[in-house]
Amino acid sequence: MSVLLRELSERILVLTIHRPEKLNALNPEVVESLRDALHAAKGDDAVGAVILTGSGSKAFVAGADIAGFKGVTAAGARELARRGQAVLDLLEGLGKPSIAAINGFALGGGLELAMACTLRIASRTARVGQPEVNLGLIPGYGGTQRLPRLVGKGRALELILTGDPIPAEEAYRIGLVNRVVEPEELMPAARALAARIVSRAPLAVKYAIDAVNHGPELPLGEALRVEADLFGLCAATADMQEGVTAFLEKRPATFRGE
Ligand code: COA
């Protein structure tokens, strides 16, 4: 059976990492399957949003597969990190929203995967963390960079240096996840959120993600120019004309992603 299950309905693609016996740990097969699925989703107009989750009730993803670290060389480990980072970059830059539905442990590479998603919803039973220091490692799939950007440097350093996981409610309190729901509500809540975003103008959604993701890397003046450029690009879309006209005509807009 495949290590990555795919299900597309109503323009929402659900990708389920399926290695429940290993708590969905990210081995090379999972990473490659994710890369292929994300490449396909990026170019597929039938996909409006992606939900990522893990198989079973115990884990979203319990990290990179630790078995792959045994005897690895410095060059090999660097390559492993770069390959994983490239897949997470692809996810972050998908041009469509992605939601991590965190159904259990999201540790190490699991939390890094969730942080590369546009939004995160956690089950009340989930626990998240960056435990790499327990293995003599540091996060290598973007954790040292995306975690401080999401929760601030102080909280990120505490999580990374102690390696201690935190419960979903604490992750919510520090802004690491967008909301916490009961386990049985996780997938309905993720689908409802995805559907809400999919009903909006797709290019506006894409440009908004671009602006929010890239702005903070730039000096404020440049970032504001990027925002204005993307605002201008929105005005060149048929959907912007439709959205404005529909509002003025007091009717719902029909967006076509053009
Ligand atoms: N890589 C490879 N295998 C993993 C794994 C990982 N990151 N996380 C869990 N597994 C495997 C376990 O080895 C075990 O396999 P086995 O049954 O063949 O021995 C199976 O998944 C179940 O895990 P287990 O540890 O028995 O479950 P638990 O309920 O006792 O503990 C965790 C759950 C998540 C606390 C524990 O599995 C853990 O600490 N995992 C590693 C987390 C981590 O350090 N991630 C960062 C990696 S960089």
For residue 59, report the distance from its CA to the centre of ligand 1, in Å. Answer: 10
Nearest CA to ligand 1 atom 4: 22
Looking at the fold, whether 109 and 18 belong to one and the same domain comes out as yes
- 105-107 sheet: strands from edge to edge: 59-61, 105-107, 127-129, 166-167
Nearest CA to ligand 1 atom 30: 23
Could you confirm whether 92 is annotated as catalytic?
A: no
Reported as a single tens digit per residue, the pLDDT across 195-231 is: 999 999 999 999 999 999 999 889 999 999 999 999 9
Cα–Cα distance, 95 to 230 (Å, whole number): 13
Looking at the fold, whether 176 and 211 belong to one and the same domain comes out as no
The answer to whether residue 140 is domain-embedded is yes
The one catalytic residue in 132, 169, 185, 242 is: 132
The one catalytic residue in 7, 79, 92, 112 is: 112
Residue 1 pLDDT: 79
Question: What CATH number is associated with residue 113?
Answer: 3.90.226.10
Q: Which of 30, 31, 66 to mutate to test the pocket of ligand 1 (most atoms within 8 A of CB)?
A: 66
Query: Domain range spanning residue 134?
Result: 4-198
Average pLDDT, the chain: 97
* Alpha helices (H) in the chain, listed in sequence order: 28-42, 74-92, 109-116, 143-151, 153-162, 168-173, 186-198, 202-214, 220-235, 238-248
* Residues 8-16, mean pLDDT to the nearest whole number: 98
